[in-house]
Chains A and B, each alone.
Chain A
Amino acid sequence: MEKWVCEICGYVYDPAEGDPDNGVSSGTKFEDLPDDWVCPVCGADKDNFAKEA
């Protein structure tokens, strides 16, 4: 599964980890994150993420 990088703060969303602090369980693909999910570090929305090169 692909990792996605926040272009604002550099946080990497790793589907293997998910975002458990915000109710996203491990194994959740970036595409399956809810539309209102935001970067847990800086608060940027999903539009600010790019696939990790």
Chain B
Amino acid sequence: MSEILRIEHLVKTFGTNEVLRDIDFTVSKGDVISIIGASGSGKSTLLRCINMLEEATGGKILYHGKNILAGELDEDQYRTKVGMVFQSFNLFNNYTVLENCIIGQTHVLKRSKASARDKALEYLSKVGMELYINAKPRQLSGGQKQRVAIARALAMDPEVLLFDEPTSALDPEMVGEVLDVMKALAETGMTMLVVTHEMAFARDVSNRVIYMADGRIEEEGSPKDVFYAPKSPRTRDFLSRFSQN
């Protein structure tokens, strides 16, 4: 499998607080990687550093061999290739569902209006939102907003999609619809990096699981290994808290 992203010795500090300490891992085409861990372990910061929403303090982020942190590729251009889905959806409130999915294509990728619209409609129907193209974000439920956000990210034809706790802000009954969409997406071979607290998703859908603690990768492996035969006592301890309920 061809390598898309390689993270080397990534470090991020906020003041004297070390949030990420020496993170190393690679993302290859078709990977669905779940990043799990307790709050404050640095999962979200890692994702935000990969998408340059936070500036990493040290290390390298190589995208097809080009170090993004050294400016070897234009930041905005890189971001079109590495999409992001946020916990709080971040749909543009001043546009309709359809416009949300078109605007990046026409203004960033310079696609024609017609082809952008076709692409937007294609992905909106994939996430089951084709009936709501004229609705404004505030007219949608949380789960619907997140599905539109996924369609918006997909419409840019990214190589990797980063999910930052995509279901954490949702009411329980809406979690399922978003996870279903993500599962379907994984099955199409989309490369995904998912920070999540949904252990069932991590176990059943991803091909690799990373457990983070204190800004480090504590354990990394196949879901089977991490969930059923964790090497680190901290991983075991973390996972045991989920199996109790």
A and B part of one assembly: no
